[in-house]
Amino acid sequence: MEPLQEPLALGADWHEPLPLIGLDEALENTLLHAGISRETLLGRLLADLGQPRLQPLLWVLPRRWRLAPADLPPRLQGLSAVLQQGLISPVVLAALVDDLAHLWPPQQGAQPTAVDRLKREAVVWQNRTLPLPTTLESLWATSAVQPAATAQAAPVDDASTARWRHLRQGLRWTNVGLAFSQSLAERCSNAQLAQVFNRLAANGLAQEPFCFEGCRDGASLLTWFVGRGWRVCARLRCSVASFGFGAALELEGQPVRQIPLALPMRTGLLNDRGQEVLSLLPHTALELELSDGGRTFRLQWFQGTTGLCGWDALNDLHRPWQNDRQNGTVRYLGEPFSPDQWPSLLHMTELIAVVHNLEATDQHLRLGGYGSLGFCIDSTALLQQALCGSCDLFPLVLPGLWRERLEQRCVSLIHSASLPAGAAALSHAYRQALQALPLDFSHHGASVSDAWRRLQASLPLHSPFALIQQLHQLQRPPTSLTPARDC
């Protein structure tokens, strides 16, 4: 099987009705055919790289469209130099994690720490600050008061400014015409309940305990919901990551075509022809869905770019090629957690959140430790490893130095009695998971087989990307080598 020239090319095995077009094809057919040069487009992108929304383009642009390192602002030159000629890999991620924060724009003014975010008793929603509710009734009441809006995404498009209009030729750096899977009020409810779980996890760090419906930790709150007839589904999920970034091609007289985006990466693994295997970086999380038949909460737990290891609303724009919960673009790992596992599951999320956010705060890590303390993949894998004794995710890049620091932090919290009782009881499993969790910087010999298994387990079952379609057909090399003869 020949390697793809463009890792984000779309394959033939995609039959969903939503029209798609590959990024390279969209750039080629709209801008170059319209007489707009590569240099002109890249010059416009360079001027807009100060906008965080557009910075992921450095990671996803086809190779021939990338900016030269010397053309970039100094804080972005290091990352571009690494990515310009090749693709990101576990080794590259390992080299970047401790310096990742320096590649982001400087922070303006005092920023809340990771612990501040965990303890926050308010939610910022639609430019409003909502006090954190203490009852389900007050949560519903707050969510019901929403500004006039529809379920469709707001058209936030930097390409609509006057300076972009003569360049874009229908190319927009946002998705067009897509909707959310839940209403505005439901998404507000998700955001509030996510922060309720975070605040409950922080009770050991706060002067005054927080209660929701009389519950002081997440496991008790889940039991409270179950006792009132709510259905619970908790499971680990994996999908192609795009960091919330979207693009679309909108030409007059033609249907809008969405442009799937992803971050290609090298894996450090060889196929049966001796070629290095490429894949797409996944986003992973623990998904928690609560439903009483009429109303539904959807939450996710992971180490995120928002500066927190903890719960967040599962409010992503519905992209059928990337995050549909029914068509296989979201892959669920194994069976949902069973009811007898729910208490340990919630206690473990609280333990990891407290340990990681405290470490990020005391070490003054940017983005709440995102990168240094791993990425979403690492936090999800750590949760699975601690509860199940193994994990199914790839790539894992949580460095050994930070594993040691996290273990020391956990021990100090146990000695200071700062952990909730349920979380403290799981500290041994957490520390064992830190030691046993695989590290995907380099594989050879016996470790190759497990890395292959985890790579395959992390792939979406259905995807428009030709690279993912090829990976499902790929044969791994033989695991046994011919023994060397004695000299």
Q: What would the mean pLDDT of 195-218 be, rounded to a whole number?
A: 96
Cα separation, 442 vs 125, in Å, equals 43
Q: Which of 162-171, 266-275, 360-369 has the lowest mean pLDDT?
A: 162-171
What's the mean pLDDT in 286-309? 96
Which residue has better confidence, 159 or 199? Answer: 199
Task: Enter the tokens of residue 349.
Answer: 């999320």
Under the banding of pLDDT at 50, 70 and 90, the label for residue 46 is low
Single-letter residue type at 410: C
Name the least confident of 156-165, 166-175, 256-265: 156-165
User: Cα–Cα–Cα angle for 321, 54, 105, nearest 5°?
Assistant: 130
The pLDDT, as a whole number, for residue 440 is 95
Domain boundaries defined on the chain: 23-473
pLDDT computed for residue 54 by the predictor: 54
Residues 6+ away with beta carbon under 8 Å from 219: 342, 343, 346, 347, 422
Provide the b/e sequence for 31-51 (b: ≥16 CB within 10 Å): beeeebeeeebbebbeebbee
Q: What percent of the chain has pLDDT over 70?
A: 77
Q: What is the pLDDT of residue 165?
A: 47
b/e map 226-237, b = 16+ CB within 10 Å: eeeebebebebb
Least confident of 130-144, 273-287, 348-362, 465-479: 465-479
Predicted local distance difference test score (pLDDT) of residue 28: 78
Tell me which amino acid residue 97 is.
V
pLDDT at 483 over 70: no
- Identify the pLDDT of residue 448: 94
Q: What's the whole-number mean pLDDT along residues 181-187? A: 96
| 33-37, 233-237, 336-340: least confidently modelled range | 33-37
pLDDT of residue 88: 75
- Average model confidence (pLDDT) across the chain: 85
pLDDT in tens, 373-387: 999 999 999 999 999
Q: How far is 192 from 63, CA to CA, in rounded Å?
A: 41
Q: Are 253 and 175 in contact (CB under 8 A)?
A: no
What's this model's pTM, rounded to 2 decimal places?
A: 0.88
- Name, in order, each residue with C-beta under 8 angstroms of 35's C-beta and a sequence gap of 6 or more: none
Mean pLDDT of the region 317-326:
96
The mean pLDDT of 106-126, rounded to a whole number, is 87
Mean pLDDT of 347-361: 97
What is the pLDDT averaged over residues 24-31?
Answer: 79
How many whole angstroms separate alpha carbon 465 and alpha carbon 455?
16
Residue 367: predicted pLDDT: 83
The residue among 285 and 23 whose pLDDT is bigger is 285
Using one digit for the tens of pLDDT, what is the confidence trace for 60-106?
A: 666 555 545 545 555 445 555 555 445 677 877 766 665 555 555 55
Question: Tell me, what's the pLDDT at 22?
Answer: 93
**Are the C-beta atoms of residues 312 and 198 closer than 8 Å to each other?**
no
| DSSP, residue by residue, 68-92 | PGGGS-HHHHHHHHHHHHS-B-HHH
Please give the pLDDT value at position 252: 82
Q: Is the pLDDT of residue 338 over 70?
A: yes
pLDDT above 80 for 31: no
